[in-house]
């Protein structure tokens, strides 16, 4: 027998009503999480890494890449790229990452852009020079933000076993020669590292995410296809082999109805920043 006293039973019975119904109503008030947060954010974290671990993995990847290639020593340039990148990230589907998005321009003569888990984005000085205006620079950064926002790193870490992924990236970076003459090796290495990370569908999705970011942030969406076209045909992140052309065609279709035009915005400050870094930039761009 559970209870012997009849009055005690009645009391318990009476108490259980409010307990159970308060659970019900609380549950309603809380809504189901999926409904209230939106499915796009609550895509379950694909990897077994927590957000904090993602962040520390990202730091290690960046630390490896920047062991051989130093950031450009210009407070103005790094400030500018971070302001632009962080402004763009506010218009992505993942506005918050563990400690915020961070951007860096490294000194390297091959056009490279890459991102790491945790919201770290790296751009080479050569890639900066490929961009002809702020819209194009924004499009490169928006593509990388797209990878972070869509959690592509995490997806692939899961797919390839997180440690194998980390090792492959770190190993690629470790193979980099400090010799500046072997820059091609560097770009290829980073590109192949990125290849490990991103498949064709992910690149396409990051392109689409970039277009949305550009439009919402107020930049010209056709900047991305224009900048991809201009990247030299060496193996770099944004100029990927034969699919490069298909990406451009796809982007052209997607942006055919947009009214915004290229290079109309922020031209002066973009040129000023570039000029400060490389006096030949102005003449080259004209």
Taking the C-alpha atoms of residue 43 and residue 37, their distance in angstroms, rounded to an integer, is: 10
Q: Is the Cβ–Cβ distance between 111 and 190 less than 8 Å?
A: no
- Cβ distance to another protein smaller for residue 17 or 279: 17
CB of 174 to another protein, least distance (A): 7
What is the DSSP annotation of 135-185? Answer: HHHHHHHHHHHHHHHTTHHHHHHHHH-HHHHHHHHHHHHHT--S-GGGHHH
**CB of residue 247 vs another protein: minimum separation in angstroms?**
25
Q: How far is the CB of 270 from another protein (least distance, A)?
A: 8
- Identity of the residue, 231 or 274, whose beta carbon is nearer to another protein in the bound complex: 274
Closest among 221, 233, 274 to 285, alpha carbons compared:
274
Burial class (CB in 10 A: 0-12, 13-18, 19+), 29: exposed
Q: Decide whether 24 or 245 has the Cβ nearer to another protein.
A: 24
Q: Which is nearer to another protein, 163 or 245 (CB)?
A: 163
- Which CB atom, from 67 or from 159, has the smaller least distance to another protein? 67
Beta-carbon contacts of 100 under 8 Å, excluding residues fewer than 6 positions away, are 86, 119
List the beta strands (DSSP E) in the chain: 102-106, 113-116, 120-124
CA-to-CA distance for 99 and 56, rounded, in angstroms?
Answer: 10
Residue with smaller CB distance to another protein, 102 or 152: 102
Least separation, in Å, of the C-beta of 233 and another protein? 30
Non-local (6+) Cβ contacts of 52 within 8 A are 98
Distance of closest approach, residue 19 Cβ to another protein, in angstroms? 6
Run of H or E residues at 96: none
Beta-ladder partners of 103 = 121
Shortest distance, CB of residue 250 to another protein, whole angstroms?
A: 23
Nearer to another protein, 132 or 134 (CB): 134
Minimum CB distance to another protein, residue 239 (Å): 25
């Amino acid at each position: 027998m559970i209870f012997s006293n009849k009055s005690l039973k009645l009391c318990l019975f009476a108490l259980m009503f409010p307990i159970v119904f308060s659970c019900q109503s609380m549950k309603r008030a809380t809504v189901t999480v999926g409904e209230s947060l939106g499915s796009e954010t609550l895509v379950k974290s694909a990897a077994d890494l927590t957000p904090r671990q993602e962040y520390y993995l990202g730091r290690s990847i960046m630390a490896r890449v920047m062991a051989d290639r130093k950031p450009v020593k210009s407070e103005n340039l790094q400030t500018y790229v971070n302001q632009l990148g962080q402004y763009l990230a506010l218009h992505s589907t993942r506005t918050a990452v563990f400690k915020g998005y961070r951007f860096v321009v490294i000194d390297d003569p091959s056009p490279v852009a890459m991102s790491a888990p945790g919201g770290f984005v790296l751009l080479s000085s050569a890639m900066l020079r490929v961009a002809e205006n702020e819209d194009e620079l924004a499009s490169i950064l928006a593509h990388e933000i797209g990878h972070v926002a869509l959690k592509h790193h995490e997806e692939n870490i899961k797919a390839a076993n997180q440690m194998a992924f980390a090792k492959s990236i770190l190993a690629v970076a470790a193979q980099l020669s400090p010799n500046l003459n072997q820059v091609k090796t560097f770009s290829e290495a980073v590109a192949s590292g990125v290849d490990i990370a991103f498949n064709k569908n992910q690149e396409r999705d990051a392109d689409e995410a970039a277009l949305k970011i550009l439009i919402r942030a107020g930049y010209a969406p056709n900047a991305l296809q224009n900048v991809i076209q201009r990247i030299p045909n060496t193996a770099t992140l944004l100029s990927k082999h034969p699919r490069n052309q298909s990406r451009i065609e796809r982007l052209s279709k997607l942006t055919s109805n947009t009214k915004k035009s290229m290079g109309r915005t922020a031209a002066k400050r973009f040129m000023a920043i570039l000029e400060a870094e490389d006096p030949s930039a102005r003449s080259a761009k004209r």
